[in-house]
Structure 1
Amino acid sequence: MLEKIIALDQELFLYLNNLGSSTWDPFWLLITDKWTSIPLYAILLYLIYRNFGLKGTLLSIVMVALLIASTDQLANVFKHGFQRPRPCGQDGVMEYARFIAVRCGRYGYFSAHASSSMGLAIFMSLILDKYYKHLTSLLMIWVILVTYSRIYVGVHYPLDVLTGGLIGALLGYLFYKIHCYLMRYFNLTS
C-alpha cells in the first residue's frame, strides 16, 4: 500500500513538475524564494498594528516567530526521521524531472515552506478576518503559489507539500488559540 502511494506521488510530481517551461522558471524561482514574501509580511504587520496597537503587535510578532520556528523545526525532525530523498536527488525520478532550484537538500518529507506559509496564513486569517473580509482568500492564493513552487522547482513531492500544509494549518490554529488566550490574559483585546 505504501509503495503504491509513493509511486502515485512520484507520478503526480513528474506530471506537475514537467508542466513547467523556461519561460516561467524565473517567476517560480521568485515565488519560492523566502525573501520574496517580505512585502506581504510588512503589510500583515501593519494590519496587525492598525487593529491591535503596539502591545498586541508585539505579542503577535512573538506568536508568529514561535509558529515559524515550530513549523521549521518540526519539518526538520520529520525530514531526518523519515529520510525520504527529495525528487531532485531520487534515482528514477530526477532523470525525468525539471530541477531548477538553487540547491537540492538531502531529505524532503515534509515541506517547511508549505508548513510555515500555511501556518502563517491560517494564523493571520483567524486574527484579522473580522477586519478584512478577503484576507483569507488572498493568503490562500499565496499559500498555493508557494507550495506549488516547491514542486515546480523540483525539490518536493506533492505529498510533502500536502503534509506540510496540513501540519501548518494545525499549528496555525493552535497558535491562534494561544494568541486569543494571551490577548485576553493581558487585556489587549479591543
Structure 2
Amino acid sequence: MWEQLVEIDQQLFRWINNLWIGKFHSFWLFVTQIQNWFFLYLVFFFLLFKKFEKPTRYLAMVMIPVVVIISLSLTNLVKNGVERLRPNNEPLLMDSIQVLLQPENFSFWSGPSAVSFAVTTFVVHALRSRNATKWIYLFYLWPFTFAFSRIFVGVHYPADITVGMLVGLFLGWISFVLFAKMTRTLHHTA
C-alpha cells in the first residue's frame, strides 16, 4: 500500500514537473527563492502595525518570526526522522525530470510550504480579527505559488507540498489562537 502511494506521488510529481519543461524557468527560480518574498513580509509587518495598537502590535509583529522558527524547527525534525530523498536526488527519476536546484537535505515535508502557509494563516487571522477586508485572503496566492514552485524546480513531491500546506495551516491557526489569548491577557492587565 505504502509503495503504491509513493509511486502515485512520483508519477504526479513527474507529470507536474514536466508541464513546462524549458519554459518559465526564470519565473520559477525567482518564485522559489525566499529572499524574493521579503517585500511581502514587510507588507505583513506594516499591516499588523497599522491594525493593532500598542502593545498588541508588537506582539503581532514578533509572532511572525516565532511562527517561522517553530515551522522550520518542526519541519527539520520530521525531515531528519523520515529521511525521504528529494526528487532531484532520487536515482529512479533523474532522467525524466527537470531539476533547477540541487538541495541535499531531505524532502518530507516541504519547509517552504509549511512556513509560508503558517505565516500567511497567522497574518490573515490576525487581520480578520481587526475587521480587515476579505481581500486579505488573496495573500494565500503567495504560499500556493511558492509551494508549487518547489515541484517545478524539482525539489519536492506533491505529498511534501500538501502535508507542508496542512501543517502550515494548522501552525498558523494555533499561533493565532495563542496570540488572541495573549492579547486578551495584555488588555486585562493594562
Is TM > 0.5 for Structure 1 vs Structure 2? yes
Determine what percentage of the aligned residue pairs are the same residue.
27
Is residue 49–residue 61 contact of structure 2 (8 Å, CA) maintained in 1? no
Question: Which residue of the partner structure matches residue 111 of structure 1?
Answer: 110
Give per-residue Cα distances to partners, 1:54-109, cap 9 Å, x unaligned: 422210122221111111011111111010000000011122110012x3223110
* Structure 2 residue 135 is the aligned partner of structure 1 residue 134: yes
User: What secondary structure, in the 3-state scheme, does the structure 2 residue paired with 1:187 have?
Assistant: helix
Ranges in structure 1 where 5+ consecutive residues have no aligned partner: none
Consecutive aligned runs of 4 or more in structure 1 exceeding 4 Å deviation: none
User: What secondary structure, in the 3-state scheme, does the structure 1 residue paired with 2:94 have?
Assistant: coil
User: What secondary structure, in the 3-state scheme, does the structure 2 residue paired with 1:85 have?
Assistant: coil
| Alpha-carbon distance between aligned partners in 1 of 2:23 and 2:91, rounded to the nearest angstrom | 27
TM-score of the pair, normalised by structure 2? 0.94
Which of 175-184 and 56-65 deviates more? 56-65
| Alpha-carbon distance between aligned partners in 1 of 2:145 and 2:9, rounded to the nearest angstrom | 19
Give per-residue Cα distances to partners, 1:6-60, cap 9 Å, x unaligned: 0000000000001123330111111110011111111111111111134222101
Question: Which residue of the partner structure matches residue 169 of structure 1?
Answer: 169
| Alpha-carbon distance between aligned partners in 2 of 1:123 and 1:57, rounded to the nearest angstrom | 14
Is residue 89–residue 106 contact of structure 1 (8 Å, CA) maintained in 2? no
| Alpha-carbon distance between aligned partners in 1 of 2:6 and 2:23, rounded to the nearest angstrom | 30
| Alpha-carbon distance between aligned partners in 2 of 1:154 and 1:46, rounded to the nearest angstrom | 34
Give per-residue Cα distances to partners, 1:100-154, cap 9 Å, x unaligned: 12x3223110000000001111111111122122111x12211110110000000
TM-score of the pair, normalised by structure 1? 0.94
Is residue 45–residue 57 contact of structure 1 (8 Å, CA) maintained in 2? no
Question: Which residue of the partner structure matches residue 34 of structure 1?
Answer: 34
Question: Which residue of the partner structure matches residue 69 of structure 1?
Answer: 69
Is residue 122–residue 169 contact of structure 1 (8 Å, CA) maintained in 2? yes
Question: Which residue of the partner structure matches residue 122 of structure 2?
Answer: 123
Which of 78-87 and 45-54 deviates more? 45-54
